[in-house]
Structure 1
C-alpha cells in the first residue's frame, strides 16, 4: 500500500478570467500533518473546496488513496473517509454537546433520515469516547449556545472524527481563538494524528501554530505553490519572506496575521 493518501495533479480553478488556483500539485502522506499557508486571497479555501467537492476543478485531478475522486459530490467524498472543519463553526445551538456528536454518529451509521424517538440514546458511549478524545467529556450535557468559542472548535473536531476519517481537512481551525487556545487545539490535533494515524491538511494564518505542529508546509500565493518544505526551510525561503513581509523574516503569529 502506498504511503501517499491524498494527491493533486495540476489542480486548477478559474472564475472567468481569474485563475484562483493555478496548476497545484502535491502529495499528503498517511499520518502526516501538512500546513497550507499563504496571504489572504492566495486560493487556500478554493483549493479546499475542490478537494471536498464543493467546487469542480477547471482542470486537474484529485486522488484519494489512489482513487480518482475529482468532481464527486461532498457527501460521496465524505463517505470515502474525508472529514472537514470550517473557519466558522456550525453546530445545533439548541442541542447539548453530546447530542451534536450523536447526530454526527447517526449520520455515519446511516440513521440520520429515520424517525428515532429515542435518538438521544443512540451511540451515547461512542459519543462520550469522542468527547473524551478532544477533552470535552465533562461538558457533554451543556448546551452549545453557552460554550466558549474554543470549546465549540473542540466539539467540531469531535464531530469531524465521528465518521472515523482517514483524511481531515481543517480550514483555519484556530480562527477567532485566543493564542493559548490555538496552541492547545493544534497540539490536540497533532496528538490525534500520532495516535490514530489520521492525515491532516490544514490552512492557518498563525505562524506560531504552523511552525510548532506541522510536519511539512506548503506556501500558496496568487493561486500557485511557491514553496514546500520543513518549518526551517520555509522560514529561510527568500520568496516566502517576500510574499509575507516584503523581505522580512517569516516570524511570529501577529506578523503573519497581518500579511
Structure 2
C-alpha cells in the first residue's frame, strides 16, 4: 500500500500549465527522486505536496488523508517533514536548541512560558542529533558549523515530528562530493530505520543514481518516465528531453558503477 498517492495533479499560472495531470505513488521505505529540466514543474509539484501551493486539480493523499487545501503546518502535523535547498536553521542558536525549537513546535509549546525552552526535551533533541551524527556538536551555534553539518542539523529538525514522509528540496545543493554522499547515505539509513518515505528533487545525477530507489521525470509539466534510475538512464525520451543531445548524460553514465 502506498503512503503517498498523487492523482491528476494540475497547476496553472495564468495561461501556463506548470503541472499537467501527473500521477505517481510512493510507498514507505523508498527514496523517490523527482527530476527534470528547468521549467519542468518539479518545484511546483513539490510545493503542492507540501501545501505551499494549492493544486488547481487532482488529489494528494497521505495515508488516506487529502492534503490539497491544507496549509503547510496542518500537513506537517499529519507527518510530513521538509528540508530546503538552502538550509533553514537559526544561526544564533546551538544545534540542540534548533532541534528543541522543532520539538516545541511539534508539541504546540512555542507560545508557552511554563518552563525554560533550553531545558525542553533536551535528551530527545540530543538523540535526534545523534541519529544524524551531530551529538558531539550539540552545543555549538549553527553559525560556526560547516555547511554540511548545518544540513545534518536541518535533517534532525525535519525528523523531530517523526514524519512518515520527508520532502527534501535539492538536499545536496552547495555541498562537496563527500558531503553529498555522506548526507544521502545518512538519509538512506534513516529511511530504513524509520520506515519513512522520501521524495526529493535533485540536479546531481550521481546522487540520483546512487541513492534513489526510483525516479520520476517531468518535462513541461508532464510525467514522461518513471522507474529505476539505472533503467531510465538508457531511455531515449529521457535523454532527449532532460539531457538534450545526451552527451552530458553519457558522461554521467560512465561514472556510475552497476550495483553488485
Indicate the TM-score class for this superposition, using the shorter chain for normalisation: over 0.9
Provide the rounded CA distance (Å) in 1 between the counterparts of 2:107 and 2:250: 44
1:192-231 alignment, distance < 5 Å: 192-231=190-229
| Residues 207 and 251, structure 1, Cα contact 8 Å, conserved in 2 | no
Which range moves more in the overlay, 62-71 or 10-19?
Answer: 62-71
Shift of 1:91: 1.2
| Residues 238 and 247, structure 1, Cα contact 8 Å, conserved in 2 | no
Shift of 1:247: 3.0
Instruction: Tell me what 2:257 maps to.
Output: none
Instruction: Tell me what 2:172 maps to.
Output: 174
Shift of 1:130: 0.5
1:48-127 alignment, distance < 5 Å: 48-127=46-125
1:133 to 117, 131, 134: 131
Provide the rounded CA distance (Å) in 2 between the counterparts of 1:215 and 1:191: 13
Q: TM-score, normalised by structure 2?
A: 0.94
**1:198-241 CA distance string (max 9 Å, x none):** 11000000111101011111111111111000122111110111
Provide the rounded CA distance (Å) in 2 between the counterparts of 1:252 and 1:184: 23
Q: Which runs of 4+ in 1 moved over 3 A?
A: 251-255
Q: How many residues align?
A: 253
SS of 1:4's partner is coil
1:1-20 alignment, distance < 5 Å: 3-20=1-18
| Residues 233 and 253, structure 2, Cα contact 8 Å, conserved in 1 | no
Instruction: Tell me what 1:145 maps to.
Output: 143
Shift of 1:244: 2.6
SS of 2:181's partner is helix
Provide the rounded CA distance (Å) in 2 between the counterparts of 1:204 and 1:253: 14
Provide the rounded CA distance (Å) in 2 between the counterparts of 1:246 and 1:160: 35
Provide the rounded CA distance (Å) in 2 between the counterparts of 1:44 and 1:81: 21
**1:171-198 CA distance string (max 9 Å, x none):** 1111111111111101100010111101
For the aligned residues, what is the CA RMSD? Answer: 1.5
Instruction: Tell me what 2:258 maps to.
Output: none
Q: Which runs of 5 or more structure 2 residues have no equivalent in the other structure?
A: 255-260
Provide the rounded CA distance (Å) in 1 between the counterparts of 2:243 and 2:48: 28
Give the 3 Å change call, closer, same or farther, for CA 134–73 of structure 1 in structure 2. Answer: same
Shift of 1:251: 4.7
Q: Which runs of 5 or more structure 1 residues have no equivalent in the other structure?
A: none
Give the 3 Å change call, closer, same or farther, for CA 185–8 of structure 1 in structure 2. Answer: same
Provide the rounded CA distance (Å) in 2 between the counterparts of 1:188 and 1:245: 29
